A and B are shown apart, each in its own frame.
Chain A
Amino acid sequence: EDKVVQSPLSLVVHEGDTVTLNCSYEVTNFRSLLWYKQEKKAPTFLFMLTSSGIEKKSGRLSSILDKKELSSILNITATQTGDSAIYLCAVEAIQGAQKLVFGQGTRLTINP
């Protein structure tokens, strides 16, 4: 059965710290790995990763995929209180449909 596991489940840090969120997966017919940020309701798209070893960056956020280790990390540098959210990792598995298999999420809290 397709599975995505995120760690840690919860993380509390101080503003300005750097955090690393982890995602590992076991999925047949892997196509891509996506990161989303969920603050209240709608998950908002951060990154889509398809190639191993290529880092994607957007401001203070960056992510990289390791297909050999079946994992990805999401880094956030110089954290701000606005980064407080649930970060979801999802893997796209093609089984007829473009099905996203999500992990449980990491709840990140940034204290001022």
Chain B
Amino acid sequence: ETGVTQSPTHLIKTRGQQVTLRCSSQSGHNTVSWYQQALGQGPQFIFQYYREEENGRGNFPPRFSGLQFPNYSSELNVNALELDDSALYLCASSLLVVSDTQYFGPGTRLTVL
């Protein structure tokens, strides 16, 4: 186990609703990245947070937003949920912001009906 935890484990929402997913990074890690993994696909980069600031973003619309807190835990918020948002959401933490191994949490399975 990596020490990265995520909550909740599973979540069911309906279209149009909003959702908040949480991630606690491994002890000492100040960088958190979020990924979306659709069924049968590899994870896709959503964004990264470093020392409470967004440090880069993938091709996701603004309704995907995030936060990082002083203890380096992080939240992913998704507004106006769409059916295609159904996926496994993974967070990963690393000690360094570049060229360092990212350690993944167990993920949150989001189903949008």
A43-61 residues with Cβ-Cβ distance < 8 A to B are 43-45, 48, 50
The chain B residue with its CB closest to the CB of A32 is B99
Interface size on B, residues (CB 8 A): 35
Contact across chains for A101 and B107 when beta carbons are under 8 A apart: no
Assign chain A's interface to a size class.
20 to 34
The chain A residue with its CB closest to the CB of B4 is A42
Enumerate chain B residues within 8 angstroms of A40, measured Cβ to Cβ: 106
Whole-angstrom CA separation of A102 from B31 in the bound complex: 19
Contact across chains for B33 and A100 when beta carbons are under 8 A apart: yes
> Quick check: is A34 within 8 A (CB to CB) of the other chain?
yes
Quote the shortest CB–CB distance from B23 to chain A (angstroms): 12
Report which of A41, A45, A96, A103 forms a contact with B101, defined as CB distance below 8 A.
Answer: A45
Enumerate chain A residues within 8 angstroms of B47, measured Cβ to Cβ: 97
Q: State whether A99 and B43 are in contact (beta carbons under 8 Å apart), knowing that A42-B104, A43-B90 are contacts in the complex.
A: no
> Quick check: is B44 within 8 A (CB to CB) of the other chain?
yes
Given contacts A44-B104, A98-B56, list 19 more A-B pairs with CB under 8 A. A31-B99, A34-B101, A41-B90, A41-B109, A42-B4, A43-B43, A48-B101, A88-B42, A90-B42, A92-B99, A96-B55, A97-B56, A97-B97, A98-B98, A98-B99, A98-B102, A99-B48, A102-B35, A102-B43
Interface residues of chain B, those whose CB is within 8 Å of chain A, are: 2, 4, 31, 33, 35, 40-45, 47-48, 50, 55-58, 88, 90, 92, 94, 96-107, 109
